[in-house]
Chains A and B, each alone.
Chain A
Amino acid sequence: MSPRLDPFRPKAPTLILFLSPTVLLLSLFLIWPILDSFRLSFYDWSGLNVEPTPVGLGNWEEMLKDKNFWLGVRNGFILLLMSIGIQIPLSLGLALLLYRGGQRFRIFKFTYFFPFLMSSVAVGILFRQVFDPNFGLINSILIALNLDALALDWIGDPKIAIYSVSALVCWQYIPFYTLLFLAALNGIPSEVEEAAAIDGAKNWKLVKQIQLPLIRGSILTAMTLMVIGSLKYFDLMWVMTGGGPLFSTSTMATYLYQVAFKSYRVGYGSTIASALFIVVFTMALLINLITRRSRIEN
């Protein structure tokens, strides 16, 4: 066959037909907005109807000294640490439980997924009521159990609000990671487990020596998703507390929204948007390097 007619080595017009919709959309809604955010970060601009004024590195200098920005960065890392510390062990435990139960635990598998199907808006509004200090579900239970001292103002107290909301993020995502790990466990070839069982491995020994090592890839994937997801997190923090009280639950993304859409500081908002991009991209590269090495070592 002559190469001219080979449909797998197409001429330019065919290639353009297949790729141009993707390239156009991604340029317009992904690449150009990122570049434009960086460009706007060098301007002072208070809204669509006025002209932007160039301010050089002014916004960036302001941001580096802005306590509220750093609170957002800190809260992103609190959410990340809580996600890894709570979601990984709990999801793994639940996945192992569902795996062991098989068909007998079908009803658990079915209901455990519920929290993940609700929109963040609905979860946030619902849990404002669940966390309510006077009429809420949690404090009603605590008081009924005579644990009045533990009945705190979960999202109203700036000292603990970030932990309450982060715990809620965990509640919403644990179903996702549980089923992710369960899928990985189901993917272990039964011959491997059979051989281990014949060697006398059961229960914890089977978990530790066979199951956990074999789903290591999925655990790394989960951690990667948590790193990226936590640092850019927005939804529940915004719906439940608007980043408050006193910026105690603000993240980079909620602070960016506040600055740009509430205080109408488009230029400064773009600076935070660009910083968010830099932080998330750097962390993603870092974790990619780390997990790649540990995948190769495996």
Chain B
Amino acid sequence: MKQSRSFNFKKPHLGISHWSIGIVWLVVATLPFLFMIFMGFKTPSEQITDPIWKFPENWQISNFSQVLNVIYFQSLANSIIVVVISMFLTVIIASMAAFAFARLHFKLNSILFSLIVAGLIVPIHTTLLPIYILTNRLKIYDTLAALIGPYVAFSIPISIFILTQFMREVPRDLAEAALIDGASTNRIYRSIYFPVSRNAIVTVGIFNAVTLWNEFVFAYVLTSSPGKRTLPLAIWDFQGQYSSNIPALLASLTLSAIPLMLTYFIFQEKLVSGVMAGAVRA
């Protein structure tokens, strides 16, 4: 944060209009969430007969407790497992490649790097059918393992892009002492470039974690049974089951949003800068 230096342009006057616009957008951005939470406490008949702003006669906690079943916790666990493993693999694999692109001299360096950057544009839907067929052939359809390959592969281009830019800025003299010691390429990566890039690696990790946490299409196509679904797909399955009980459906949405919201409340700045990383560096 830049601090004000008693110049008034650093702390400009805020009039009624600034506050009003700010509040109008606050309503636009948050009213649907209030609707979601509030409706989750009604009964299905109240939802149909009462005006939406009427308070429920008895607050229906049962809508929430009904959703907090084995399937919810299984999906939550699935999401955590898939995201953590994918993020971990991505960070290791991408940082090794980024080190090679940033510092190592080899013939295909710039061509290979451009190819990987071009990978940023590939629409995942183009790859959907072949990956679906491959997953079936490998007999891993409807397992968490089926998700990890595509998740890591699609996280790699942006991660390499960000980490390579970061590692190019690492001062070369940092490696000099190690060079005098006769360190190997491996050593220089493990003991210098990887630890020095810690901040960028955390950023990349957050970016991928948030993206994958909410991922829909691969999880939709590559899994099918309730025990193998991630959280977004659990609520997708839910809507079929609770199509006549809208309040319970909305309660399930509230519960599915809690993990990431909680993370945001605790690590606000860190999370935002992670999510922005891809665009700010591009």
A interface residue numbers (CB < 8 A to B): 1, 5, 7-10, 14-15, 17-19, 21-23, 25-26, 28-30, 32-34, 36-37, 40, 48, 93-94, 97, 100-105, 107-108, 110-122, 125-127, 129-130, 135, 137, 140, 171, 175-176, 179-180, 183-184, 186, 190, 193-194, 197, 202-203, 206, 218, 221-222, 224-225, 228, 231-232, 234-235, 239, 252-253, 256-257, 260-261, 266, 269-270, 273-274, 276-277, 280-281, 284
B235 near A19: Cβ-Cβ < 8 Å: no
Interface of B is mostly: helix
B184 near A121: Cβ-Cβ < 8 Å: no
- In the bound complex, what is the Cα–Cα distance between A10 and B35 (angstroms)? 60
B105 near A9: Cβ-Cβ < 8 Å: yes
B187 to chain A, nearest CB (A): 8
A121 near B104: Cβ-Cβ < 8 Å: no
A-B complex: 10 closest residue pairs judged by Cβ atoms: A29-B153, A33-B127, A119-B214, A232-B123, A33-B130, A197-B9, A36-B130, A22-B97, A121-B232, A7-B185
B52 near A101: Cβ-Cβ < 8 Å: no
**Is B10 located at the chain interface by the 8 A CB criterion?**
yes
Stretch with Cβ within 8 A of A (4 or more), from B65-73, B197-205, B274-282: B274-282
A48 contact set on B, CB distance < 8 A: 133, 136
Q: Mark B28-45, 1 if CB is under 8 A from A, else 0.
A: 111111011001000000
B104 near A9: Cβ-Cβ < 8 Å: yes
A197 contact set on B, CB distance < 8 A: 7-9
A89 to chain B, nearest CB (A): 13
> How many cross-chain pairs have Cβ atoms below 8 Å apart between A and B?
268
A266 contact set on B, CB distance < 8 A: 129, 133
A183 contact set on B, CB distance < 8 A: 276, 280
- In the bound complex, what is the Cα–Cα distance between A276 and B125 (angstroms)? 8
A116 contact set on B, CB distance < 8 A: 275
A120 contact set on B, CB distance < 8 A: 214, 216, 232
**Is B51 located at the chain interface by the 8 A CB criterion?**
yes
Find the A residue at minimum CB distance from B120: A228
Question: By CB atoms of chain A within 10 A, which of B30, B106, B116, B152 has the most?
Answer: B106
A114 near B30: Cβ-Cβ < 8 Å: yes
**Is B260 located at the chain interface by the 8 A CB criterion?**
yes
B49 to chain A, nearest CB (A): 10
B125 near A232: Cβ-Cβ < 8 Å: yes
New A-B pairs, 6, CB < 8 Å, besides A100-B18, A270-B129, A273-B129: A32-B130, A105-B22, A122-B235, A126-B36, A253-B123, A281-B121
**Is B272 located at the chain interface by the 8 A CB criterion?**
yes
A193 near B9: Cβ-Cβ < 8 Å: yes
**Is B249 located at the chain interface by the 8 A CB criterion?**
yes
20 contacts between A and B (CB under 8 A): A7-B185, A10-B106, A14-B184, A19-B96, A19-B100, A26-B156, A28-B149, A30-B153, A102-B11, A115-B29, A121-B235, A122-B256, A130-B35, A135-B52, A179-B272, A193-B9, A202-B12, A253-B123, A266-B133, A276-B123
